[in-house]
Amino acid sequence: MSPGGWPTLALAGAVLALALGPAEAQTAGPPPAADVARGATIVAGSVSGLPACASCHGEAGDGRAAEGVPRLAGQSAYYLAKQLRDYRSGARGHALKAQQVAAMTEQDMADVAAHYEQLRAPYPPAPARGAAALARGQALARFGSRSPEVSACDSCHGPQGQGFAPAIPFLAGQHATYIAAQLRRWRSGERRNDEAEVMRMIGERLRPQDIEAVSAYYARQRPLTLTERP
C-alpha cells in the first residue's frame, strides 16, 4: 500500500493509462537504464554541451518560487523524462527549453530525470494567502466543481497532490507561481502535451481566481508520510 492507503496497482493504472494510452504501452521499448550519478554531473553543468539544470532549478532541485521555476526534487523520473522529450519534440512548446534540451540524448534525459527523482529538498515557507482563497483551492483540489464542471485535482494528482508516479506529477509543495503559469498555459493552448486534452479542458474551465486559489493551496501541501492520512 502506498502512503495514502491506496492500492498500488490501481494507481499504476490511472497513471500509465494517461501517459501512454493502452496500446502504446506495450509497444514502447524499455527506457534506457538510468545512471543517477551521471545525471548529477549533467545537472551541475559538468558535461560539456549540456545545460546546467541546477543554474535555474537549484542545486537542491527546489526551483525558484519568484520566477516560477518548478521544484523538480522528488518528481517522478518517468514524468520528467517525458517532459524533456516533449520539449525536444516541441510537444511541450517552450522556445528556451527546446534550445536547452536540443543536445540531450535519451540517455541524458533518463539520467537527469533519475537524479531529480531521488533528490530531496527543503521547502520554503509558502507565501501568505487569504483564508477564502485557500478554502476555494482546497475545495477544487478535493471535491472539484459542478459549475464550472471540473473534477477534483486529487482524483488524478493523488491525495493532497502527492502525485501518482510514474505519469502524474506531484503538486504538493510545488511553487504556486509555476502551477498557476502552467494552468494558464493549458488554458491558452500554449501547453498541449496532455493525453486526450484532459488538462487543457480543465484549464479552459477554471476562472483566473480558481487558478490562483488552487495553486496557492497546493503550494502549501507537503509530502505525506506513512503515518498520515488525507
Partner 1 sequence: MTRTRKPVDAVVVGVGLVGSIVAKALVDAGLSVVGLERGPARDIVPDFQAPDAHDELKYSVRKNLMVDAAKETFTFRNRPGQTALPMRRLEMFLPGSGVGGSTVHWNGVVFRFQESDFVLRSHLRDRYGPNFVDPALGIADWGVTYADLEPHYDRFERLYGVCGKTGNLAGVRQPGGNPLEAPRSREYPNPPMKELYAGRLFRNAAESLGYHPFVGASCNLTRAYTNPLGLTLQPCVYCGFCERYACEQFAKASPLTTILPVLRANRRFELRAQAQVLRVNVDRDGRRATGVTYVDAAGRETFQPASLVIVAAYAVNNVRLLLLSGIGTPYDSRTDTGTVGRNYAFQTISAATVFYDQSVRINPFMASGATGTYIDDFSGENFDHGPHGFVGGGFIGPLLTGGRPIEFRPVPPGTPRWGREWKAAVARHYNHTVNILCHGSSMPVRTNCLDLDPSYRDAWGQPLLRVTYDFPDNDLKMSRFITAKAMEIAQRMGGQRVGGGPRSGPAMATQYQSTHNTGGTIMGDDPKRAVVNRYLQSWDVPNVFVIGASNFVHNGSYTPTGTVGALAYWAAEALTGRYLKQPGALVTA
Q: Site for partner 1 (CB under 8 A): which residue of 59, 67, 106, 195?
A: 195
Cell of 144: 472539484
Consecutive H or E run containing 76: none
188 lies in the site for partner 1, by CB under 8 A: no
Identify which range of 29-37, 68-76, 118-126, 193-201 contacts partner 1 by CB under 8 A.
193-201
CB of 52 to partner 1, least distance (A): 36
Q: Residues 160, 224: contact at Cβ < 8 Å?
A: yes
Identify which range of 12-20, 78-86, 114-122, 178-186 contacts partner 1 by CB under 8 A.
12-20
10 lies in the site for partner 1, by CB under 8 A: yes
Q: Cis peptide leading into 3, omega within 30 of 0?
A: no
Nearer to partner 1, 132 or 198 (CB): 198
CB of 173 to partner 1, least distance (A): 19
Nearer to partner 1, 48 or 227 (CB): 227
Q: Residues 218, 172: contact at Cβ < 8 Å?
A: yes
Length of the chain measured in residues: 230
Which positions from 17 through 36 interact with partner 1, judged by CB under 8 A? Answer: 17-18, 20-23, 25-26
Nearer to partner 1, 13 or 130 (CB): 13
Which positions from 138 through 167 interact with partner 1, judged by CB under 8 A? Answer: 142-146, 149-152, 154-156, 158-159
Rounded Cα distance between 156 and 144, Å, is 12
Cell of 227: 503515518
- Which 3 state secondary structure label does DSSP give 108? helix
Residue 170 makes CB contacts below 8 A (sequence gap 6+) with: 74, 75, 76, 157, 158, 161, 162, 163, 223
Q: Residues 13, 21: contact at Cβ < 8 Å?
A: no
Query: Which residues here bind partner 1, judged by CB under 8 A?
Result: 4, 6-7, 9-10, 12-14, 16-18, 20-23, 25-26, 142-146, 149-152, 154-156, 158-159, 195-198, 201, 230
